[in-house]
Structure 1
C-alpha cells in the first residue's frame, strides 16, 4: 500500500530509557505494510543511549523518514505533544501514537490511514480513532493473567462511558477509551482541540484528556477494533493487576517509581 493513499501519516513515539527493549518496536514499525509514513521518536531525557539505538537502526535500514527529536520536559503528555507538533510542521495531515514498549500489528498504519482519510478518498472520514489494546505475548505473562487484563480493560472502558465527568451536554458523542499507545487523530483536529496536555503521567492521564477535548468539538470519532497494538505488561508484573488498575483510576495507587524498566 506504500504511496498509494492520499495524506501524509506520521507515527509519534515517546521514548524514555528504552535502549534495552525498543528493538521489537522498531522492527514492528519498520515492517508495517503501509510504510509510507514518517516516524518521530521523542527522546524524553533518556540516559541509556536510546537515541543512538534508534538512529543506528534507521540508518542501517535506510529509513530516512525516521528521526529522533528531544523534549527535556518530563512527561508522556509533553513528549507526545512535541512529537505531534513536529510532525504537523513537517507536513503530516494524520497522526498516530504508540509507545516504545508496544508492538503495533503489521496492518496498523494501513488501518489508521483508512480510518482517518476523508470519505471522498475512500476512507472512513474519522477525526479520532481509539484502537484496541491487547497484552504482548513475549513478556512472560501467563494466559490467565492476560485474559484477566483484557477483561479489566473492558471494565475500565465501560466505567468511562458512565463516569459522570465524561458525560454532559458539552459532549457531542459517547465516551471512548483511547489508550495513548494506540490512538490516531487528524492534524487539523489535533490543533483544534489543543493537543495532548503537556503534563507528566503522574499528574494527568493525557489520553483521556484529549478524547474529551475532541468530543467537545466533533462526534466524528470511533473505537476501531481492527486497529490493534500489543501493549507491555511491565506495570502489571511490577505492581500487580489490582494496583495497576488503581493507577489508571485517577492514580488511586501511587508507586514511588512510575517509570518501570
Structure 2
C-alpha cells in the first residue's frame, strides 16, 4: 500500500485490512515521503493490535508507481508468491484478500482486476457514485478500442485493473517489469502493468467478487467532469494532484 500524507484518514483503511476474513497475509505500507506523520499513525495501529506481520518501509522517490513497486518487490524479497495492492484512501471489502487468493490459485489466473466502487462514507451522492461506477466500465470499453492498447503482440483483450484493486502472482509481476516507477501525474502505472502482462499471458481477468471501495475526494475537489478527464490520459491537469 503506497502512503502519502494520509495521517488524517488512513485509520478506516487500516481497520478494513484488519477485518479481513482471510488474515493470512503480510501488509507492507510504503511511506512515500509523507510530511504529516502517516508512518507514526500506522506504527501505533500495528503496536496497538499486535499485528506482527505488518510493517512500514520508506520510499523517498515520490510517485505512486515508485512506491507501489517498492512495496511489491519488498514483499517478493520476503517470500511472497501472491501480491495484492490497494491504496491508503480505500476500503477493501472484508472478503478482499480471500477473493484475490481464490482467483490466483483456484481460478488459475495470474492477474486479477477487481471492482472499484465509490465509498459511501464521504458524502458523495448516490447518483455520483453510480456514475463513477459506470465510468469505470465505460473506460474499460474505451480502452479496448484505444489505439495505445492495441498491438498484435498482445495475447488478450485490454483489462482495466485499477492500481488500488489488483492482484498478481509474484512471478508474473517480475516478468512484466512491475509498476513503472513514475509519478502519478506522468503515467497511469496500472495501465502500463496490464499492457506488459498482456504481452506475456492470457491468464488475467476482471473479478466482480474482488471489491474495494475507493475515495471520491477528487470528485469533490475537481468535479465529476474533470475527474473523468484526469483518468482519461490526464486530459485534465490541475496544479495539485495530491488531494487530501
- Tell me the distance in 2 between the aligned counterparts of 1:46 and 1:172: 39
2:182 aligned to which of 199, 214, 229: 199
Aligned to 1:104: 92
What secondary structure sits across from 1:60 in the alignment? helix
Residue 37 of structure 1 pairs with residue 20 of structure 2: no
Provide the alpha-carbon RMSD of the alignment: 0.6
1:210 aligned to which of 164, 168, 193: 193
Aligned to 1:54: 42
Aligned to 2:225: 242
Once the 2 structures are TM-superposed, how far is the Cα of residue 29 of structure 1 from its aligned partner?
A: 0.1
Aligned to 2:5: 17
- Tell me the distance in 1 between the aligned counterparts of 2:74 and 2:6: 21
Once the 2 structures are TM-superposed, how far is the Cα of residue 37 of structure 1 from its aligned partner?
A: 0.3
Residue 69 of structure 1 pairs with residue 52 of structure 2: no
Once the 2 structures are TM-superposed, how far is the Cα of residue 53 of structure 1 from its aligned partner?
A: 0.4
Aligned to 2:14: 26
Aligned to 1:3: none
Residue 94 of structure 1 pairs with residue 61 of structure 2: no
Aligned to 1:259: 242
- Tell me the distance in 1 between the aligned counterparts of 2:133 and 2:101: 26
- Tell me the distance in 2 between the aligned counterparts of 1:168 and 1:206: 18
Residue 156 of structure 1 pairs with residue 144 of structure 2: no
Gaps of 5+ in 1: 1-12, 118-122
Once the 2 structures are TM-superposed, how far is the Cα of residue 180 of structure 1 from its aligned partner?
A: 0.3
- Tell me the distance in 2 between the aligned counterparts of 1:135 and 1:219: 29
- Tell me the distance in 1 between the aligned counterparts of 2:104 and 2:68: 19
Aligned to 2:151: 168
Once the 2 structures are TM-superposed, how far is the Cα of residue 150 of structure 1 from its aligned partner?
A: 1.3
Once the 2 structures are TM-superposed, how far is the Cα of residue 59 of structure 1 from its aligned partner?
A: 0.8
Once the 2 structures are TM-superposed, how far is the Cα of residue 77 of structure 1 from its aligned partner?
A: 0.1
- Residues paired across the two proteins, number: 244
Aligned to 1:115: 103
Runs of 4 or more above 4 Å deviation: none
Once the 2 structures are TM-superposed, how far is the Cα of residue 145 of structure 1 from its aligned partner?
A: 1.1
What secondary structure sits across from 1:52 in the alignment? helix
